[in-house]
Amino acid sequence: MTNTENILAPGTIGRRRAAPLPEQPPQLWKSVTPKKAYDVIIVGGGGHGLATAYYLAKNHGLNNIAVIEKGWLAGGNTARNTTIIRSNYLWDESAAIYEHSLKLWETLEEDLGYEMFFSQRGVLTLAHSVSDVRSKRRNFFANALNGIDSEWLTPEEVKKLVPIINISPDVRYPVHGATYQPRGGIAKHDWVAWGYAKAASDLGVDIIQGTEVTGFDIRNNKVHGVQTSRGSIAADKVGLVAAGHSSILANLAGFSIPIQSRPLQALVSPLLEQVLNTVVMSGAVHVYVSQAHKGELVMGAGTDAFNSYAQRGGFHVIEHQLAAALELFPIFSRAQVLRTWGGIVDIAPDASPIIGLTPVENLFINTGWGTGGFKATPGSGWVMAYTMANGTPHALNQPFALERFLTGHLIDEHGAAGVAH
Amino acid sequence: MLHIPCPHCGLRNETEFHYGAEAGVAYPDPNALTDIEWAKFLHIRANPKGWLAERWVHFAGCGRWFNLWRNTITHEIGPAYLPFTQQPKAPDNIGKEDSKA
């Protein structure tokens, strides 16, 4: 690589090779043997669980915390998503919590002292039909009322922003317009998890991998600890942050949650020159695509129709997604699919998260992020930490309590977000 | 893609079907339920890791609903059966430990 090439910033379109990633330090977090007891145990070592532990230590002064992970750190949905970050949700409750998260993203690298390639390259959400235009414009106006940066773009303005997009009117899914959130973008998901893990570990959080929670010590409807594949560990408070496996854990603790676990797939191309420096999403045709730092096209597909824990999905879902992607971006026809994978997402009836208290005292839950959890990582951890430290939800997550399924006050983001949540 | 045995049409591709989640959830008398019981009926469906008896409708074929045992870890297909008939036993060779979760 020449010096001239090095000057170009990441994300700049041009003939250049991608900048190299910084070297990793040899060890980011300490290896520990579980203690007999903790003040707080977080079950689930993904982005949300690590962020919860970090904010418990940093914002609430707790220093006897463990994160217990069945597999390896951030090996679930944190490693399997398409890293899109935005906050332009329809409903006030969603807009508030995702915007809080986006604001945390904007200072996260400084806060954690760890680079994670957070790139506010903007997120486009395309509209393909008259009704699509109406609902996206409604979304755009709702965002304006909530003070969230959002713009409405005509097809020509979309083309100006993304030169490789096909805005021909005579295709199956023509582009009729788009909402655009300039502050949206992407980040490098592994680095986000490592950043939180390092910062949490530096604050004294024990990160315990390869340890499965197999039960809970519940007496008089109050949790006193967990049983694990490495023995019992006592805890004053326990938080379940296990995404697709939340139903299993809730059942072990003796209650049910309105969650269905489904495979959600994504794929990448080999490393290509930079052709796309905006995130493009289309709920109607089940496409969302960005070009990552190193040059691979990262695309997300839809969820499979059925419940599954298999971390793989049907190939017809990928085919459907690629067919629509090729029509939008004819240039992609010469790219190859390098790899596809699936993650198990936790979907609530209203496609909104469930964050807060459970029927068991001192047992808290954070689940239901479904197909859109990555962008919420900082905000989710922040409100979960507040809720666990204070024993009562923050105003931001109060509307997302389990009780909403009893009161009927659902936060229906299905229609607002489409599949690309 | 799953190959699903429709009891009326035989083995067909998954794309001919729509999914209907947990099978055998009877419609209750709303007036006889507490708010909590009603919320459970509306929103809670089984989400086990292992065998699940679930509903499918063959929308691109006979258009009829039926029930099917399917394993949510292996995607293995078990017996299909008609609604309001005797439910066959869950195939118990795989995913047994969590089948009641």
Interval A238-294: pLDDT, tens: 999 999 999 999 999 999 999 999 999 999 999 999 999 999 999 877 889 999 989
What tokens were used for A225? 């600890």
Question: Please, is A230 exposed, middle or buried when counting C-beta atoms within 10 Å of its C-beta (0-12, 13-18, 19+)?
Answer: middle
Supply the DSSP symbol for A245: G
Q: What distance in Å separates the CA atoms of residue A182 and residue A123, rounded to the nearest whole number?
A: 6
Supply the DSSP symbol for A396: T
Chain-chain contact of A315 with B1 (C-beta, under 8 angstroms): yes
Determine contact, residues A157/A148, Cβ cutoff 8 Å: no
**pTM confidence score:** 0.92
Task: Say whether pLDDT at A9 is over 60.
Answer: no
Interval A63-116: pLDDT, tens: 999 999 999 999 999 999 999 999 999 999 999 999 999 999 999 999 999 999
List % helix, strand, coil for chain B (3-state, nearest 5): 20, 30, 50
Confidence band for A14, pLDDT divided at 50, 70 and 90: very low
Chain-chain contact of B44 with A310 (C-beta, under 8 angstroms): no
What tokens were used for A176? 């009729």
Nearest CA in chain B to A316: B1
Determine contact, residues B53/B24, Cβ cutoff 8 Å: yes
User: For chain B, which residues lie within 8 Å of any Cβ of chain A, measuring from their own Cβ?
Assistant: 1-2, 14-15, 17-19, 21, 35-36, 39-40, 42-45, 47-49, 52, 54, 70, 72-75, 98, 101
Confidence band for A16, pLDDT divided at 50, 70 and 90: very low
Q: What is the mean pLDDT of chain A?
A: 92
**Contact residues on chain B for A258, CB-CB shorter than 8 A:** 43-45
Interface probe for A, chosen from B1, B12, B40, B49 (most Cβ of A below 10 Å), is B49
| pLDDT at site A25 | 66
Express as a percent the part of chain B with pLDDT over 90.
Answer: 87
| pLDDT at site A420 | 46
In this predicted structure, which of A19-33, A97-111, A353-367 has the lowest mean pLDDT?
A19-33
The amino acid present at A410, given as its one-letter code, is L
Q: What is the mean pLDDT of chain B?
A: 91
Chain-chain contact of A306 with B54 (C-beta, under 8 angstroms): yes
What tokens were used for A142? 């709702």
Nearest CA in chain B to A314: B1
Please provide residue A196's backbone torsions phi and psi, each rounded to the nearest 5 degrees.
-65, -40
Number of H helices, E strands in chain B: 1, 6
- Nearest-by-Cβ selection for A308 from B42, B43, B75: B75
Distance between A219 CA and the closest CA of chain B, angstroms: 21
**Contact residues on chain B for A257, CB-CB shorter than 8 A:** 44
Confidence band for B31, pLDDT divided at 50, 70 and 90: very high
- Nearest-by-Cβ selection for B44 from A245, A256, A310: A256
Interval A146-183: pLDDT, tens: 999 999 999 999 999 999 999 999 888 999 999 999 99
Determine contact, residues A274/A119, Cβ cutoff 8 Å: no
| pLDDT at site B69 | 97
- Domain B3-100: CATH class, spelled out: alpha beta
Please provide residue A209's backbone torsions phi and psi, each rounded to the nearest 5 degrees.
-95, 170
Distance between B68 CA and the closest CA of chain A, angstroms: 12
| pLDDT at site B58 | 98
- Nearest-by-Cβ selection for A307 from B2, B18, B47: B47
Q: What distance in Å separates the CA atoms of residue A347 and residue A369, rounded to the nearest whole number?
A: 7
Q: What distance in Å separates the CA atoms of residue A289 and residue A292, rounded to the nearest whole number?
A: 9
In this predicted structure, which of A18-27, A54-63, B37-46 has the lowest mean pLDDT?
A18-27
- A282 contact B CB<8A: no
> What does the pLDDT average to over A301-317?
92
**Contact residues on chain A for B4, CB-CB shorter than 8 A:** none
Express as a percent the part of chain A with pLDDT over 70.
Answer: 92
Task: Say whether pLDDT at A203 is over 90.
Answer: yes
Task: Say whether pLDDT at A2 is over 70.
Answer: no
Q: How many CB pairs under 8 A join A and B?
A: 60
A149-to-A37, A118, A119, A374 alpha-carbon distances in Å: 45, 18, 16, 20
In this predicted structure, which of A20-24, A225-229, A328-332 has the lowest mean pLDDT?
A20-24
What tokens were used for A218? 């519940």
> What does the pLDDT average to over A33-43?
97
Walk across the sheet containing B18-22 and list its strands. Answer: B18-22, B51-57, B65-71, B77-81
Distance between B16 CA and the closest CA of chain A, angstroms: 12
Domain boundaries, chain B: 3-100
**Contact residues on chain A for B70, CB-CB shorter than 8 A:** 306
Q: What distance in Å separates the CA atoms of residue A288 and residue A421, rounded to the nearest whole number?
A: 10
**Contact residues on chain B for A316, CB-CB shorter than 8 A:** 1, 14-15
Q: Is A22 helix (H, G, I), strand (E, B) or coil?
A: coil
